[in-house]
Structure formats: structure tokens, C-alpha cells
Structure 1
Amino acid sequence: MPDPDTVAIPVLAGAALAQGITFLYGQAAEVLRIKREGKAAPQTTLTVPGAFEPKNIALQPNPAALAARARDLVMLLQIAKPFATCPPADLDGTDETLRTCFGHLREVLEDIYDVQFTFVGEQRSTQRVRQAVDDVRGRTTGMKLRGTNVKAAGDVVQRVKTVHESGELTGIDIDLRA
């Protein structure tokens, strides 16, 4: 399990917290509705609440990612429901369960939509790689970093059906000597 600090949403308060929770919970419920109906979802441009940037995001769920992460969404929605349905004044932005639950919910939605939902003022990695590969026969690398002054945070998710005997799959390849 990842360190909670790496997946938790930032400490938020007031309207930003309520907007963030409402948006993430609503998007999770919406994407599960799409899966239940079994229809291909059209791409839509969504204006996100003021707690997020950018304000307009083109969204279209990836059917394979949705199928792979649907169970996670169901579980997270059950945990998130008490927070999403309580009065905004009762929300505590420092609550670790709230922050971690909605951090994981955001992570799953980002995987399904292949976008980042970043809160205003939040510093997040700009190095984000999502790969979906059927067969790896040679070398496949998500991210290569070279140089003596490399300082980067990375997020690599790789979905692979088969890595053949001659294949090599690498998430992040860092060479500080270059």
C-alpha cells in the first residue's frame, strides 16, 4: 500500500473541501453508472469546481481502466459516502481517513479518465506516464531520466498482457551518471 502522504488529498477547508469531495464522489458515481449501463461514454468537457485547476477538462473514461478499477471505486464510494453526505460544516480537512480515502478515489478516477485532478495551489508531479501494451518483446520503459542533477517525481502505471521471454518492462529508468 502506498504511503498515505503520497495519495492523500491536501489539507483543505471550507468550500474547497466540500467542492473537492462533492466532485470526486460525483464523478466516481457517474463512471460506475456508465459501466452499469454498458454504453460507450462520449467525451465531454466538464467545468470542474473552483477547488480544482484547470477549470475545463475533457473527460472520457477508458473502458479497460474502468473495468479494471470498478471494484476499487465501489469500495471507495462506500468509505466516502459518510463524508460526501454530511453537512459541509462538519467536514474536517485534517481527517486522515477523509484525506486518504479521497486521495485514493482521485487516483482511481485519474487512472480511468487519464487526467489529473489537481487542487488549486497543490504541487503535483508533472511526470505522469500511463502505458497499455499487449505484448512486450523488446524493452519498454515508462520514463527515462538522465543526468547528474535529476530531481523529479514520477508516476508510472503500466498495464501489460504479456511480457515475453525476450521482453523487459521498466517503470522508471534513472541514470545519474549521464
Structure 2
Amino acid sequence: AATMSRNAAEAAALAHVPLLALRRPGWVAQDGDRWHSTGSLSEAAGLLPALGERVFLTTGRMGLAAFAGAGLDALWFLVRSVDAPEPPCPARMEVLLDRGPFDLDGERELLRRHRIDVLVTKDSGGDATAPKLTAAREAGIPVVVVRRPPVPEGVPVARTPDEAARWVARLHASG
């Protein structure tokens, strides 16, 4: 994501084309959450041995290599992804191919059925995948949240599609 954003900013600057980042607000920890914020997948992987043994990994299929390293072989991973992952992958894992939105009852059942004791997720914000956070809070499960990379310097940010549409309308009206 960081590379894509940087490439988009560089291409827009070279082409003299306006660029807007549409980024919904990130999730905010609530009372009872046991969040551990990290800046990368590899940093998240490094925290896991101290947090649990049965990991619910919801970071997508890209970046699984960070969880395939030495020191993590004793952990078991439930990897939920839209598409099947490709190696390298964690040594002990089950893949659950699924696409949100997910409901709270389903997330509670998934955590219980797989005996999950730690969750790893990227901070995508929004409601479609937030029920896993509520289910983890209710179960007292620690959550490792991988922060989003910053928006490149000089790129304006819209928080909603309506805000983005207003930005485009202002841009169109001015030129």
C-alpha cells in the first residue's frame, strides 16, 4: 500500500494531474480492547509468540511471508483471505476463503470454534470487517493492529466518498 501510494503521488506529480487519497477513518480502540499497534507485518509477527498460540490472521494473502519465519513454527494460523495465498506461508495454517462483510455472531463463533487467542489485522477502518474487533474484545483476545502507511506528503485526503466528490467538484469548478 505504501509503495502504491508513493507511486501514484509521483506519477500524478510528473503528469501534473491532481491526486486525492480516499481514506476512511481508522478504527479507534474502545474500553476493554487489548490492542497492540505496529507499523508493519514483520513487527506484528514479532509480537505473536508473547501473545498467543492460535492466531486469526486477517491481513490478506499478501505479506504472509512475515508470518512464515523462524520462531513462529509453534504457532497455528487461521488465515482468512478473499483469494488463496501463495508461499511462503506459515508452517501450520488453515485457510478460510471468505469475503466480508462479516457479522458479530459469525465472528464470535469463528473465534470460539478455532480456539483463537490472538487476532492480527490491518487497520482498514470501516464497518464491514469491524465485528472481529468486537468479538475479540468480548473474548478478551489481544489484537495486533497494523497501522496504515501515511499518505504521501502533499496529497490531500478525503474521509468519505461524498467528501471526495466535493473535492472533484471544486477542482472542476476552478479550472
Instruction: Pick the TM interval, shorter chain.
Output: under 0.3
Q: Which is richer in helix?
A: 1
TM-score (normalizing by structure 2): 0.25
Identify which of structures 1 and 2 has the higher relative contact order when contacts are C-alpha pairs closer than 8 Å and 6+ apart: 2
